């Protein structure tokens, strides 16, 4: 009997295992079965995100209630500072303005007011920011000043003029119409500060069209005892159309004590206020505007006033 008949034949594992035999494994249809499932999960995830964003933005958007001023952004807080300063310039209510500033919760409100005043392009808003910034350094004097109540709006509509022409056989003699006088300036609205240093007028000079350089304006210079310019001094200009305030030092290229205001033809009065006091300067007459200084070059188109501090600084 041969050896093949006496012993059983061994099973060779390499003949049945493709990996050991050096052949690639056949994974069948496993990958192809999972691909549609993964694609469906991905579509469901994207659809869920889209539906969630739609509900959050359009169906149930976030609405803020009972928000406080300190919740505003930086640009909105700057706008609030401008509105607070403009309101304070009109109402002169320091306690109310200070309470509004507190609600903004700014780390350094004085520094921010100074920065806004340096970059502000609107002259009236800039003056209001400077006034509020200066009064924050002297709250006692600011609180001592009375608050101003709004005056009723003046009716500036001109009265219609009716001209009656009578025809006669004789020659018509022309009637000379006298010029309309300018309205009398309103009295000052601000009370003088008794604790403020006194200043006197040392120079008063009328300006013609060429000196002003077009338009009409009133220039004011405020100096200390030694003749040095003083910035931040309040000035009030009174006319028949109303009163206006401005401060020196807003045009450093003209000097620290220089300040000006644009005016129209009329009669004005002027005095220093708040952190300075002076007598009221009257009869500051501005003639009718002249076109390009041609029709009447000598017409008074402005005034240059110089105030100097009296006594020890």
Helix ranges restricted to H, 8-138: 30-54, 74-91, 94-104, 109-119, 123-137
The answer to whether the beta carbons of residues 262 and 216 sit under 8 Å apart is yes
**Taking each helix axis from N to C terminus, what angle separates 109-119 and 74-91, rounded to the nearest 10 degrees?**
90
The edge-to-edge listing of strands for the beta sheet with 199-207 is 199-207, 302-309, 217-223, 258-262
Write down the pLDDT at residue 285: 92
pLDDT digits (tens, 9 = 90+) for 252-284: 899 999 999 989 888 999 999 888 999 999 999
Quick one: tokens of 245?
Answer: 């305030």
- pLDDT beyond 80 at 239: yes
The answer to whether the beta carbons of residues 225 and 313 sit under 8 Å apart is yes
Nearest-CA neighbor of 216 among 113, 300, 123, 154?
A: 300
pLDDT digits (tens, 9 = 90+) for 5-45: 554 555 454 445 555 555 555 555 566 677 888 888 888 99
227: which DSSP letter?
S
Quick one: tokens of 262?
Answer: 């644009």
Was domain 199-309 assigned CATH 2.60.40.10?
yes
Which secondary structure element, helix H or strand E, spans residue 233, and what is its range?
none
Among 31-40, 84-93, 200-209, 214-223, the least confident range: 31-40
Write down the pLDDT at residue 66: 64
Nearest-CA neighbor of 92 among 135, 151, 127?
A: 135
Kind of pairing between the strands at 258-262 and 217-223: antiparallel
More confident residue, 163 or 101: 101
Write down the pLDDT at residue 154: 56
Quick one: tokens of 232?
Answer: 């931040």
Nearest-CA neighbor of 132 among 90, 165, 69?
A: 90
Write down the pLDDT at residue 248: 93
CA distance 47 to 291: 72
3-state secondary structure of 144: helix
The answer to whether the beta carbons of residues 289 and 250 sit under 8 Å apart is no
The answer to whether the beta carbons of residues 249 and 197 sit under 8 Å apart is no
pLDDT above 70 covers a percentage of the chain that reads 72
More confident residue, 214 or 50: 50
Quick one: tokens of 248?
Answer: 């020196």
Tell how far CA 107 is from the center of its chain. Answer: 20
Write down the pLDDT at residue 89: 86
Q: Where are the domains positioned within the chain?
A: 37-147, 199-309
pLDDT digits (tens, 9 = 90+) for 88-142: 888 888 888 988 998 888 989 999 999 999 999 888 899 889 889 888 888 887 7
Supply the pTM of this predicted model: 0.45
The residue whose two tokens read 């028949």 is 240
Q: What is the mean pLDDT of residues 229-245?
A: 90
Alpha-carbon dihedral 99, 100, 104, 108, rounded to 10 degrees: -70
Angle at 239 between CA 236 and CA 241, to 5 degrees: 120
């Amino acid at each position: 009997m041969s050896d093949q008949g006496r012993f059983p034949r061994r099973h060779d594992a390499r003949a049945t295992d493709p990996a050991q035999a050096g052949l690639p494994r056949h994974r069948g249809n496993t990958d192809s079965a999972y691909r549609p499932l993964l694609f469906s999960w991905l579509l469901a995830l994207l659809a869920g995100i889209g539906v969630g964003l739609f509900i959050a933005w359009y169906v149930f958007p976030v609405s803020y209630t009972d928000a406080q001023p300190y919740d505003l952004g930086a640009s909105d807080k700057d706008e609030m500072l401008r509105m607070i300063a403009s309101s304070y310039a009109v109402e002169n209510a320091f306690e109310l303005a200070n309470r509004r500033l507190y609600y903004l919760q700014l780390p350094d409100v004085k520094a921010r007011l100074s920065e806004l005043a340096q970059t502000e392009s609107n002259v009236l808003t800039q003056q209001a920011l400077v006034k509020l910034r200066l009064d924050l350094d002297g709250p006692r004097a600011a609180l001592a000043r009375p608050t101003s109540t709004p005056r009723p709006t003046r009716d500036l509509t001109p009265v219609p003029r009716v001209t009656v022409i009578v025809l006669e056989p004789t020659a018509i003699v022309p009637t000379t119409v006298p010029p309309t006088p300018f309205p009398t300036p309103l009295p000052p609205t601000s009370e003088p500060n008794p604790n403020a240093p006194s200043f006197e007028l040392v120079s008063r000079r009328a300006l013609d069209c060429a000196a002003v350089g077009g338009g009409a304006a009133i220039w004011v210079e405020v100096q200390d005892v030694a003749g040095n310019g003083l910035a931040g001094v309040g000035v009030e200009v009174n006319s028949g159309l109303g009163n206006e305030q401005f401060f020196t030092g807003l045009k450093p290229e003209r000097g620290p004590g220089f300040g000006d205001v644009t005016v129209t033809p009329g009669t004005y009065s002027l005095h220093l206020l708040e952190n300075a006091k002076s007598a009221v300067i009257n009869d500051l007459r501005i003639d009718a505007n002249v076109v390009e200084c041609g029709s009447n070059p000598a017409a008074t188109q402005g005034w240059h006033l110089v105030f100097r501090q009296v006594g020890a600084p």
